[in-house]
């Protein structure tokens, strides 16, 4: 047995012993890349500390980590399926830039603003409630137009549901799903726009895994989502995110973060590209905590430990 394989075997053994009491958090996978420097791997104590913190919180948590230099990755329940909440807006943005690259659309194309959509269940008409949206100014623009670029900015930075549904309708759900599949991120499953209550009641929801989101964010970070220039523009939009209580709160002040959050009742997610000295992609999905302050603190604690281990 080579020294590298022996180390991997020892890490796996230590982790399985350390967290045996936390079976609800299995499986945990530490996956060092062949030939990588041993010093760059997430150490067993860090992973054990993270799992202990998660277990004490009582939440269901999926975590996916990969450094952009390809020397480290770590997954915990990364293939568990969660309601995607607003993280589904990431593939919508990717598809927008994909269609722009193909010449089907231009970012400065105008789109009429209206608040009328069709349910996935029966095509019946429904409208979004501004009280359930994190951005309300766009509702005042009904009857006017906004550019696709403006709508994308609102969808990502302030998580506008109205902007999202307008873009989903314009781009087409089937096209969004095809692009996700082409990026090998099938853990993300986009069925519809947001606030389709009939579909929600029937369990017809957008879902994701931590691994699926990581693949999408990594494609953006590496210039492989649409193309390099489009990916750079997507990063710029993601860095203007206004909700920074999760992953960014666990990082040193001034760290550049390109990320998208998602939040519903007892759901709180964050998917980020962290431009640390050793840059990495980190996705944390949290389910089961009633207070967003609690879930945000959990995400920040996980991030803090991961940052310390990766740098």
Token pair of 205, please?
A: 């929801």
Higher-scoring residue by pLDDT: 24, 235 = 235
**CA pair distance 265, 169, nearest whole angstrom:** 25
pLDDT of residue 76: 96
Under a CB-based contact definition with an 8 Å cutoff, are residues 208 and 230 in contact? no
Residue-wise pLDDT for 203-246, tens only, equals 999 999 999 999 999 999 999 999 999 999 999 999 999 999 99
Under a CB-based contact definition with an 8 Å cutoff, are residues 171 and 150 in contact? no
**CA pair distance 4, 113, nearest whole angstrom:** 57
Residue-wise pLDDT for 124-150, tens only, equals 999 999 999 999 999 999 999 999 999
pLDDT of residue 42: 78
| Per-chain mean pLDDT for the chain | 90
**CA pair distance 64, 303, nearest whole angstrom:** 11
Residue 294 has pLDDT above 50, yes or no: yes
Reported in sequence order, the residue ranges of the chain that DSSP labels E, i.e. its strands, are 28-30, 60-67, 73-76, 82-83, 110-112, 117-118, 125-126, 145-147, 207-208, 256-264, 267-275, 280-287
Q: What is the mean pLDDT of residues 2-17?
A: 44
**CA pair distance 63, 296, nearest whole angstrom:** 14
Burial label for 177, CB within 10 Å (0-12, 13-18, 19+), is middle
Residue-wise pLDDT for 36-94, tens only, equals 333 356 788 999 999 999 999 999 999 999 999 989 999 999 999 999 999 999 999 99
């Amino acid at each position: 047995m080579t020294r590298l394989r022996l180390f991997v075997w020892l890490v796996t053994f230590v982790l399985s012993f350390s967290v045996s009491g936390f079976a609800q958090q299995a499986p945990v996978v530490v996956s060092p890349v062949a030939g990588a420097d041993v010093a760059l791997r997430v150490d067993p104590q860090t992973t054990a500390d993270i799992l202990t913190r998660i277990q004490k919180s009582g939440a269901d948590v999926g975590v996916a980590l990969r450094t952009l230099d390809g020397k480290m990755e770590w997954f915990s329940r990364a293939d568990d399926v969660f309601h995607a909440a607003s993280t589904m807006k990431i593939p919508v943005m990717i598809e927008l830039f994909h269609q722009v690259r193909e010449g089907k659309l231009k970012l400065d194309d105008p789109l009429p603003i209206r608040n009328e959509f069709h349910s996935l269940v029966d095509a019946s008409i429904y409208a979004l409630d501004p009280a359930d949206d994190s951005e309300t100014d766009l509702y005042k623009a009904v009857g006017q137009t906004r550019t696709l670029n403006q709508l994308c900015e609102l969808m990502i930075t302030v998580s506008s549901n109205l902007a999202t549904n307008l873009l989903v309708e314009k781009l087409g759900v089937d096209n969004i799903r095809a692009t996700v599949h082409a990026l090998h991120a099938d853990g993300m499953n986009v069925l519809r726009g947001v606030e389709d209550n009939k579909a929600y009641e029937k369990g017809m929801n957008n879902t994701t895994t931590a691994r699926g989101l990581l693949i999408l964010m990594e494609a953006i970070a590496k210039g492989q989502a649409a193309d390099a220039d489009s990916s750079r523009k997507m990063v710029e939009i993601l860095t203007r995110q206004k909700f920074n209580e999760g992953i960014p709160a666990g990082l040193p002040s001034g760290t550049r973060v390109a990320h998208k959050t998602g939040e519903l009742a007892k759901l709180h997610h964050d998917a980020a590209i962290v431009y640390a000295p050793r840059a990495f992609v980190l996705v944390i999905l949290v389910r089961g905590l009633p207070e967003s302050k609690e879930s945000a603190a959990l995400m920040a604690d996980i991030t803090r430990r991961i940052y310390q281990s990766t740098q």
